[in-house]
Amino acid sequence: MEKTQPSPIIEVHDLVAAYRDRIILDDVSFSVARGEIFMIIGGSGCGKTTLLKHMVGLTLPAAGKVIIDGTDITAGDSIQFQEVLNKTGILFQGGALFGSMTLAENIALPIVTYTGLPKSAVDRMVRMKLCIVDLGNYANFFPSEISGGMKKRAALARAMALNPKILFLDEPTAGLDPITAAEIDELILKLNRTLGTTMIIVTHDLDSILNIGDRVIMLDKTTRGIIARGDPRSLKENSSEPVVRRFFNRQAAKP
């Protein structure tokens, strides 16, 4: 019997992203399956972060639509959009932790803002999130008192504060040494496998792409669209597209 494929949790249809008269992405379409680690990859300036901003509703497309868990977030319904936001978490590239707050206070902020839970329940949730990212002993530390890798973990804990179905991560290993980056990858993989959280990751970190990515789309600055999609390991070995081969094999363009 043929296995039934689950419905996608995210669908992007014919998306056009533009800043004023400059088109960054043109006619981009793809879907993300529930529970997968889906990566948006490509060279600098190809529109990776721009696409992510459209997927989380920070920017409206010039054309096309984005559907998250059955809801079109580009339709302009603010109530439905808020419901979708409650299903998602975002890890920004720099972490975006509030420097004047402890790690516990940073993680508690979205819980206090969006739920009516009593302080005791909030405190329990905060402790749980910190323990999940192996920062259980650092609740009262400020961001300035911890390492870059620990800041990434704390920011990830905050993104998970409301138990989202979907996590969007913008360059989660950027600026980290190889060992710390590998630890972040292992944490992302653990969260995905144990919680079933769908992960959408923007990255140019080749090790991350090959080690934890289930599927990728590769954007291209010249074509302003997707030039490759699929299993990253297969793309590395079998792609006939020169740009894709150069990316996966760290090869400079020929003069």
Summarize pLDDT for 206-224 with one digit per residue, the tens.
Answer: 999 999 999 999 999 999 9
Residue 52 within a domain: no
Residue 148 within a domain: yes
Half-sphere exposure of residue 33: CA atoms within 13 angstroms, side-chain side: 12
- Residue the block writes with tokens 């390991």: 233
Per-residue model confidence (pLDDT) at position 1: 40
Residue 204 within a domain: no
How many domains are there within the chain? 1
Domain that holds residue 156: 96-163
Half-sphere exposure of residue 237: CA atoms within 13 angstroms, side-chain side: 4
Q: Which has the higher per-residue pLDDT, 76 or 26?
A: 26
Average pLDDT, the chain: 91
Token readout for 86 is: 């409650």
Residue 112 within a domain: yes
Beta carbons of 141 and 82 less than 8 angstroms apart: no
Beta carbons of 66 and 15 less than 8 angstroms apart: yes
- pLDDT of residue 6 exceeding 70: no
Q: What percentage of the chain has pLDDT greater than the value 90?
A: 74
Q: Whole-prediction pTM value?
A: 0.90
Per-residue model confidence (pLDDT) at position 44: 86
Per-residue model confidence (pLDDT) at position 2: 43
Residue 252 within a domain: no
Q: What's the average model confidence in pLDDT over 119-143?
A: 94
Per-residue model confidence (pLDDT) at position 181: 92
Q: What's the average model confidence in pLDDT over 170-197?
A: 92
Per-residue model confidence (pLDDT) at position 5: 55
Residue 40 within a domain: no
Residue 184 within a domain: no
Residue 149 within a domain: yes
Per-residue model confidence (pLDDT) at position 183: 92
**Judging by beta carbons within 10 Å of its beta carbon (0-12, 13-18, 19+), is residue 44 exposed, middle or buried?**
exposed
- pLDDT of residue 79 exceeding 50: yes
Name the band, by pLDDT with cuts 50, 70 and 90, for residue 38. Answer: very high
- pLDDT of residue 83 exceeding 90: no
